[in-house]
Structure 1
Amino acid sequence: MYTNGPAGSRDITTSVKPNLGISPIIIPKDDIKPIIEYEVI
C-alpha cells in the first residue's frame, strides 16, 4: 500500500522503536556450571 496505495498517501512516515522484553524464568541449579578463567600478567 505504501508504493501503490490510494491517492494522498505519499507522506507516510515510518519509524522503528527499540523493544525490550523481560521474562522471569527458573533454571535448575544443576544446569548452571560456573566457569572461572584467569590470566597471569
Structure 2
Amino acid sequence: MKSKLSAISGRFLNVDDDECIGFGLILEEIRDDLMVIHDNLYP
C-alpha cells in the first residue's frame, strides 16, 4: 500500500508504509533532540 506523507518541505511524497515508519522514527529522534536542547536553554 502507498501512503501519502507530508514531508517537512511541504511536498507530498508517495512512500511505502515501511518508509513512513522510518520517517516517523526520524521525526521522533528530532523531537527528542529539540526537547533536550529546549531543556538546556530554559532550565
Structure 1 length-normalised TM: 0.25
Find the structure with the greater CA-based Rg. Answer: 1
- The structure showing larger relative contact order (alpha-carbon pairs under 8 Å, at least 6 residues apart) is 2
- Higher strand share goes to which structure? 2
More helix, by proportion: 2
TM (norm. structure 2) is: 0.24
